Amino acid sequence: MSTVAAAGSQNLWFLSRGSGLVLLILFSAVIVLGVATRTGSAPRRWPRFAVAELHRTLSLFAVALLVLHVVTAILDPFVTIGWAAAVLPLASPYRTLAIGMGALAVDLSGAVLLTSVLRQRLGQRTWRAVHWLAYLAWPAAFIHSLTAGNDLGIWWVALAEVGSAAAAAAAVLARVFSRSRGEPPSGPPRPASAREVLRVR
Amino acid sequence: MNTVDSDRPGVNAAELRAGHLPRLLPARIWGGPASLAEHLARHGPLPAIGRDAGSRAEFIAEVGRAGLTGRGGAGFPTARKLHAVATGRDVPVVIANGTEGEPASAKDKVLLAREPHLVLDGAALAARMVGAPRAVVVVHDAVREIVDDAAAQRRRARLDRVRVTVMTAAGGFVAGEASALVNWVGHGIPLPTEVPPRVSERGLDGRPTLVQNVETLAHLALIARHGARWFRTLGTPAEPGSMLVTIIGAVHRPGVYETEIGRPVSEVLDLAGGPAAALAALLIGGYFGTWLDPATAGALPFSAAGLLAAGGSPGAGLVAALPADACGLTETARVARYLAAESAGQCGPCVFGLDSIAGELEALAAGRRFDQARLRRWLGQVDGRGACHHPDGAVHMIRSALDVFAAEIGRHARGWCRGTRSPGVLPVPPRRAP
Amino acid sequence: MTGRARLRVDPIACDARGLCAEVLPELITLDDWGFPIILARDVPPGLRHEAAEAVRLCPTLALRLDHTARDR
């Protein structure tokens, strides 16, 4: 009986670790695609809507996988984390800070997800303000991946970590240095739109 | 007599009642602002209209009978606007529009500088008509002090039952647009927003807002004293009354004059002493107006109906006379570049489109190249595609230039220009610092 | 779906991202600067789904689909 239980516990552990690694790669891809959507810098042959839809689809898939990752980690009897630790950053008795980063990533991703689903209802300003939190969620998830897992010794895990970090960093730099679409060719700088400034109607 | 004659001692009250010009402007060309005492001596006190809803509705009906339309360029029937604001959902507010963002036009500044009390009468009256507790009078910086003084005189005399505040207008061409004006007064940002909803439904602080050109309000103040029938003794049955015009360019005495609506354009030019040289073209209305051939335009009545036949309209009352030794294409290119730079910058087709269009016109003016098909495509793509009418107005003016100066285009693109004087008949302010 | 559906672009919100014209080329084309020109305001029933997609996809929520009652 105990071997079965132990085997079950091992499966949960593998699932949690495996889903975690896939999540890191997925979220990094989502950031890259998000920046590509915003700056319109995908390969020319890719329709813009396809890039946008891929960003959306991958992020939804990532959220589903995130649920699996969190549930398997908490259900795993080998370590005691507790359900609250999934969303409250300092609630885990086991590796408090590392799990806490994960909880932070969950919270921020949850906010981004919720506002994106309700975007039409909430309006562009609110959606955009919350969406910026994605740039906080990724580092939180990354730090979590470095500190909460034990697999950095495996070469392809380390490679995935480095590759993900490089991709995300490149995306962020591209976003920072991209000219936003509308800069007039000459004349005075374009003022912010009245709508953004005034929160009109 | 329907002309301004600087040698006459001045139209007295009786003559004004009899329907003579000038109505708005004083007869003497030079002088300072009329003081409150002088104003009351010339025009008499403003009748106390509007004690109750009935008399307010009756006066609005009288304004309707007078047929007063907006003098800011759009020509919207004033009574209809008053009614819409008066019957709005919330306590309204009045904004008197003396911005005059049009660089070549000076009529509002001159009116405010000479007869500020007529305008303030009209603003206070309009506020009472629509039930607004306050009126904001937005004026060009050049006349701010004069209007401030006039408002102070009225406050000391406890003349008005509504609160009248004076503000300086924002600079720039679009600052006089109704929604931009509301945003300037309310938030200090002179940018237009999309219409609907109209400012008469939801404007300043979300309230029904009456935005009226200062000249319109001055006419309103006179209608209150003399009635609709009096107002109609000048002008045409469809477009009654008088209007102020700014006449610039190759005329003997450029300036601001008052004319009855419907006089032939050539007679309007005669108010300024007539052409000082052979003319190549007329620009009528403003920088959103229409270039016209002077021979055909001269006989047309200066009215919306009369100029419609040639695709034009009186607009903001500008008449610019382009002499034959000036180049209309160069002037148009300069104005087009100005209009492009004055875009609020909120809508892509306006920002990019007007910039491209101005660039093409500048190339034509410089004799470098000209792709008329591409320019016309751009004009079509820009027209009507902004949140406000800035691009539409620019497109209209430019299209009329391509028509009137069509014969010169081919040669101009190859480097030949008729202009032997430096460009600048149409004033273009220097670019403002960003 | 009964009633009319009309496409509208908020020109201030629009930032020329171009997704709408990819999804609904029958009704939306891009001008020389990448901003959308609505070719026909009324959306035929066969394109309602694509129009709704285009509205959903607009990154700045500038594209709107106004539904009016049939009797108007």
Domain boundaries of chain A, sorted by first residue: 2-198
Among the listed residues B130, B144, B289, the one whose alpha carbon sits nearest the alpha carbon of residue B199: B130
Residue A53 in contact with partner chain C when CB distance is under 8 A: yes
N-terminal to C-terminal alpha carbon distance within chain B:
49
Report yes or no on whether pTM surpasses 0.95. no
Are B346 and A191 in contact (CB < 8 Å)?
Answer: yes
- B302: closest CA among B246, B229, B251? B246
**Of C67, C61, C56, C59, nearest in space to C7 by CA:** C67
> Min CA distance, C15 vs chain A (Å)?
7
Best mutation site among C10, C14, C15 for testing chain A: the one with the most A CBs within 10 Å?
C15
Residue B285 to residue B290: CA distance in whole angstroms: 7
Contacts with C17 from chain A: Cβ below 8 Å: 40, 48, 181
Q: Which of A29, A95, A106 is closest to A67 using CA atoms?
A: A106
What is the dihedral sign for C-alpha A73, A79, A80, A81? Answer: negative
* Pairwise CA distance, residues A140 & A101, whole Å: 5
Of B183, B189, B351, the CB nearest to A182: B351
Token couple for B128: 């009472």
Domain assignment of residue C21, given as a range: 4-68
Q: How far is A34 from chain C (nearest CA, A)?
A: 11
Give contacts of A123 with chain C, Cβ < 8 Å.
61
Q: Which of B343, B378, B382 to mutate to test the interface with A (most CBs of A within 10 A)?
A: B343
Considering only CB atoms, A40 lies closest to which of C12, C17, C56, namely C17
- Residue B241 · residue B261 · CB < 8 Å: yes
> Given an 8 Å threshold on Cβ–Cβ distance, is C12 in contact with A119?
no
DSSP labels, B199-244: TTTS-GGGS-EEEEEHHHHHHHHHHHHHHHHHHTTSB-SSSBSEEE
Q: What is the pLDDT of residue A200?
A: 40
Chain C residues within an 8 Å CB radius of A120? 56, 61
| CA B267, B270, B271, B276 torsion-angle sign | positive
Q: Residue A173 phi/psi, 5° resolution?
A: -60, -45
Q: Does the CB of A125 have a partner CB in chain C at under 8 Å?
A: no
Mean pLDDT of C39-67: 91
Query: How many residues belong to chain C?
Result: 72
Is A69:A19 a contact under the CB 8 Å cutoff? yes
Question: In this complex, is the C-beta atom of A131 within 8 Å of any C-beta atom belonging to chain C?
Answer: no
* pLDDT on residue A191: 53
Q: Look at phi and psi of residue A131 and say left if phi exceeds 0, alpha if psi is from -120 to 50, else beta.
A: alpha
Residue ranges and CATH numbers for the domains of chain B are 32-231 (3.40.50.11540), 328-413 (1.20.1440.230)
For residue B363 the two structure tokens come to 């190339």
Contact of B93 with B203, CB cutoff 8 Å: yes
C22 touches chain B (CB under 8 A): no
- Distance between CA B284 and CA B247 in Å, rounded? 9
Cα–Cα distance between B195 and B262 in angstroms, integer?
32
| Residue C72 pLDDT class (50, 70, 90 cuts) | very low
Structure tokens at B7: 């040698």
CA–CA gap between residue B42 and residue A14 (Å, rounded): 96
Q: Using alpha carbons only, what angle is made at residue B97 by residues B430 and A190, rounded to the nearest 5 degrees? A: 45
ipTM reported for the complex surpasses 0.85? yes
Name the closest residue on chain B to residue A200, using Cα atoms: B193
Is the preceding peptide bond at B427 cis, omega within 30 degrees of 0? no
Q: Which residues of chain A have pLDDT under 70?
A: 1-7, 179-201
The domain that holds C11 is classified in CATH as 3.30.70.20
Look at residues B352, B141, B353 and name the one whose alpha carbon lies nearest to residue A183.
Answer: B352
**SS3 label, residue C34:** coil
The residue among A48, A51, A119, A131 with the most chain C CBs within 10 A of its CB, best to mutate, is A48
Q: What is the pLDDT along chain B (434 residues), one digit of tens a residue?
A: 333 433 334 456 677 766 778 899 887 767 889 999 999 999 999 988 877 888 889 999 999 999 999 999 989 999 999 999 999 999 999 999 999 999 999 999 999 999 999 999 999 999 999 999 999 999 999 999 999 999 999 999 999 989 999 999 999 999 999 999 999 999 999 999 887 788 999 999 999 999 999 999 999 999 999 999 999 999 999 999 999 999 999 999 999 999 999 999 999 999 999 999 999 999 999 999 999 999 999 999 999 999 999 999 999 999 999 999 999 999 999 999 999 999 999 999 999 999 999 999 999 999 888 999 999 999 999 999 999 999 999 999 999 999 999 999 988 988 889 888 888 899 999 876 55
Report DSSP letters for B338-381, one per residue: HHHHTS-S-SHHHHHHHHHHHHHHHHHHTTS---HHHHHHHHHH
The DSSP result for B104-146, as a single string, is T--HHHHHHHH-HHHHHHHHHHHHHHHT-SEEEEEE-GGGHHH
Give the separation between CA B149 and CA B31, rounded to whole angstroms.
16
Could you tell me if C61 lies within 8 Å of chain B, comparing CB atoms?
Answer: no
Distance CA B87, CA B66 (A): 20
> How many domains, chain C?
1
d(CA B130, CA B81): 10
| Half-sphere CA count of A80, side-chain side, radius 13 A | 1
Tracing tokens 């200066």 back to the chain, one arrives at B302
B341 touches chain A (CB under 8 A): yes
Return d(Cα B260, Cα B21) in angstroms, integer.
8
Q: Are C11 and B347 contacting, i.e. CB atoms less than 8 angstroms apart?
A: yes
Phi-psi region of A184 (alpha: psi -120 to 50; beta: other; left: phi over 0): beta
Q: Return the structure tokens found at A44.
A: 């020319």
**Which helix (H) or strand (E) covers residue B292, if one does?**
strand B290-292
Q: For residue C72, count CB atoms less than 10 angstroms from its CB and return exposed for 0-12, middle for 13-18, buried for 19 or more.
A: exposed
Report the alpha-carbon angle A90-A95-A100, nearest 5: 35
Q: End-to-end CA distance of chain A: give it in Å, rounded.
A: 66
How many angstroms separate the CA atoms of B3 and A190, rounded? 46
How far apart CA B2 and CA B112 sit, in angstroms, is 22
CB within 8 Å of chain B, chain A residues 174-193: 182, 184-191, 193
CB atoms under 10 Å from CB of A139, counted, come to 15
Task: Pick B348's closest partner by Cβ from A182, A187, A188.
Answer: A182
C10, C12, C14, C41, best to mutate vs chain B, most B CBs in 10 Å: C12
Here the tokens at position B402 are 């391509």
Q: Which of B174, B190, B199, B246 is nearest to B76 (CA)?
A: B199
Q: Which neighbouring-strand residues pair with B260?
A: B242
The alpha-carbon radius of gyration of chain B (Å, integer) is 21
